[in-house]
Amino acid sequence: MPATGREADLTDRAAGCLLGLCVGGALGRAARAASEGGGGGETVDIGGPTEAVGAPAAFALALAESWVAHSRVVDTDLARRWGDLVEAGGEPPGAITAAALRAVAAGAAPASAARSAARLQPDRAGDGALARALPLAVAVGGDRVLLRRSAYRSAQVTHADEVAAFTAVAVCLLGLDLCRHPLAEACRRTVQAVREDLPDRALAALRPTAPGEPEPTEDDAVGILAAAVTVLARAGDLETAAVTAANHGAAPVSLGALVGGLAGLRAGAGAIPARWLSALTPALRDRCARLAAELVAPAPPLAAGVLAPRLTGATPPADGSEAG
């Protein structure tokens, strides 16, 4: 059956999100390499063709594939998929994510592994759960309750810290609202949704800094969210936003992917420069297009008397097992 106008628009935004994550991450990698090599000036191109898009984008695509397979977040499946990426020699994730996945590989359940990883850096809300969760914004059919639950659970596979987990929730809600609203309204709605869950500093991250104010420079979850919102507020288009994010001092790969994904949700895949798309391998572009269509496709009908897991009101169990 052909997609309706709304489904086609959402598919385009989903493709924009996935491709934006990839080009933003790849651009951040290029900017980081140039900085480490002593190069000057802004990095505005990726090179390629490449599938080296950084851990945030690679983990996001794996999450999207897990959702397509299960229609919900299954923490054991996510931990396995993310662990496979690390084992395959992809770009290493951040320290908290890496520690949690090592614990899972040693036999720990994801929730236990995340708690042990958090003890290694007890005062840090890592940013590793943010960009990778963005595909959920288009996967839940506009269900904000399901999105909160799913984003939180996806974060807690590796990040037990509550600020890190609820900042991931805020990122996903912001992405959902950017499909329908201007940035200022999307930020306002997101603040309303998480005001009981996050400290004032995190809520302030959803207010773009005014011209002349110091730009956010912290590289934790709240700092990366603040930088992303500020970049999106100041940039008029996806290209400018992604270049600014990738050349930002704080975590260029993480910030580049997050801004690319959010800007792709806001503007759709057509806003991504053709030279960046051509720098991704055809296989990666096709993977993103396929996943975009699958993420927004209506869930298949269920047999009579069967309740879809994504529609239950109960919070899913923390160990990844089936409810009930």
**Which H, E and C letters describe the chain, residue by residue?**
CCCCHHHHHHHHHHHHHHHHHHHHHHHHHHHHHHHHCCCCCCCCCCCCCECCCCHHHHHHHHHHHHHHHHCCCCHHHHHHHHHHHHHCCCCCCCHHHHHHHHHHHCCCCHHHHHHHHHHHCCCCCCCCCCHHHCCHHHHCCCCHHHHHHHHHHHHCCCCCCHHHHHHHHHHHHHHHHHCCCCHHHHHHHHHHHHCCCCCHHHHHCCCCCCCCCCCCCCCCHHHHHHHHHHHHHHCCCHHHHHHHHHCCCCCHHHHHHHHHHHHHHHHCHHHCCHHHHCCECHHHHHHHHHHHHHHHCCCCCCCCCCCCHHHCCCCCCCCCCCCC
Contact 242, 28 (CB under 8 A): no
Contact 164, 126 (CB under 8 A): yes
Q: What is the identity of the amino acid at 195?
A: R
- Average model confidence (pLDDT) for the chain? 88
At residue 67, the pLDDT reads 98
Q: What is the mean pLDDT of residues 86-96?
A: 92
| Global confidence as pTM | 0.89
pLDDT classification of 40: cutoffs 50, 70, 90: low
At residue 7, the pLDDT reads 60
pLDDT in tens, 56-78: 999 999 999 999 999 999 999 99
pLDDT(107) > 70 = yes
At residue 179, the pLDDT reads 95
Domain residues of the chain, as ranges?
A: 5-35+48-297
pLDDT in tens, 144-166: 999 999 999 999 999 999 999 99
Distance of CA 278 to the CA centre of its chain: 22
At residue 46, the pLDDT reads 87
Contact 60, 135 (CB under 8 A): yes
Contact 310, 140 (CB under 8 A): yes
Cα torsion 208, 211, 213, 218: sign: positive
pLDDT(299) > 90 = no
Q: What is the mean pLDDT of residues 258-263?
A: 98
Contact 298, 212 (CB under 8 A): no
At residue 5, the pLDDT reads 55
Q: Which CATH superfamily is 5-35+48-297 part of?
A: ADP-ribosylation/Crystallin J1 (1.10.4080.10)
At residue 269, the pLDDT reads 97
